[in-house]
Homo-oligomer: A and B are copies of this chain.
Amino acid sequence: MSSPYPRYSWPEGRSSAFAFSVDVDAESPYLWGLPEGTPPLLGQMEQRLFGPRTGIWRLLDLLNRYGIKGSFFVPGLVAQNHPALLPAIAEAGHEIGLHGYFHEIVADTPTAEFVRALDASLALFKAQAGVVPRGFRSPAWEMTPEMLAELAARGLYDSSLMGFDHPYTIDGVTEVPVQWAVDDAIYFKFTGGGADRWHPAAQNGVLDAWLDEWTVLAREGGLLMLTVHDWISGRAGRIRMLERLLDAITATPGVWLATVGEIAAHHAASPNREHFVTRSQPPLPSAPRRFKAGH
């Protein structure tokens, strides 16, 4: 009756883990998806530029106040457009990871283009800040077996999938999983112009759900991977929400506050890498999916 998997093991007597990750999207997803012939509207651009102007600095200040090292996944274009960002993030001791160049959406991007985006970002990050990223987070959190193979060939970890709530190994790649339920964008992103599908969620309700998630993960030895965005959670009200979350997490006995890269390195060097191993299972169009009637 019990799970076929053991409890996940954390380093040196730690019993659970927390990672604070930032997807520094700024204007990149908007530009990627913009239809040809869009008029020169400023509304969403200004909303998103709030991130590099104000939001990212509030998040850096927040992490500094709590003594947490975060992991910042930055599209190449955002680093290129805002050259002060990477040096400031690196100087404060945080991790910098890959996040596509133009925030390429996976379903619309051939593997060869994905590879060029990866290599262009690596070159830019090296040139701008002397940084050699060790990990990748997919724009919009999608992935293919071919992309996993490219990460494996470069020795990069991945942080884009949701198959466990602690690290695991998929196709030989270390996966430090994310989860929609602890992402800020799905609750709070609102850009106007008629494209939104819901209003911003009541943030205290979201916070309560995040605290419940943490209560059980801390008890069962899991990882809470929080993900926030510069232009969304850099807004004033969300900073207050994050303070309340960090108050609770940093007060938890046994929690390991670590970057995504540190967690990936722990996984790859621990017995966990033998216990939590999967192969990717893309849906097969040739698989039978119906009983045909009358046969």
Chain A residues at the B interface, C-beta cutoff of 8 Å: 1-5, 27, 30-32, 34, 36-43, 45-47, 49-50, 53-54, 57-58, 60-61, 64, 84, 88, 91-92, 101-102, 104, 106-107, 110-113, 116-117, 120, 140-146, 148, 160-165, 170, 179-181, 186-188, 190-193, 196-206, 208-210, 212-217, 220, 222, 235-241, 278, 280-283, 285, 287, 289-294
Contacts and interface: CB of A to CB of B under 8 A. Distances in A.
Given A32-B289, A197-B197, A212-B203, A164 B50 contact: yes
A5 B240 CA distance: 21
Contacts of A64: 1
Contact of A204 (B112, B160, B203, B205): B205
A181 B187 contact: no
Contacts of A101: 291
Question: Which of A32, A54, A144, A278 has the most chain B CB within a 10 Å cutoff?
Answer: A54
A141 to B, nearest CB: 6
Contacts of A148: 42
Given A116-B291, A290-B102, A165 B236 contact: yes
Contact of A283 (B30, B179, B282, B291): B30
Contacts of A201: 199, 202, 205
Question: Which of A49, A113, A191, A199 has the most chain B CB within a 10 Å cutoff?
Answer: A199
B200 A143 contact: no
B42 A281 contact: yes
A190 B180 contact: yes
B142 A42 contact: yes
Given A110-B293, A163-B46, A197-B198, A283 B84 contact: no
Contact of A291 (B88, B120, B163): B120
A283 B199 contact: no
Contacts of A141: 43, 192
B240 A212 contact: yes
A216 B140 CA distance: 29
Question: Which of A191, A215, A293 has the most chain B CB within a 10 Å cutoff?
Answer: A293
Given A1-B91, A1-B92, A38-B283, 5 more contacts: A45-B280, A113-B290, A165-B235, A212-B236, A212-B237
B213 A161 contact: no
A202 B198 CA distance: 13
A42 B148 CA distance: 10
A237 B210 contact: yes
Given A38-B285, A162-B50, A292-B113, A199 B186 contact: yes
A207 to B, nearest CB: 9
Contacts of A47: 162-163, 180
B144 A39 contact: yes
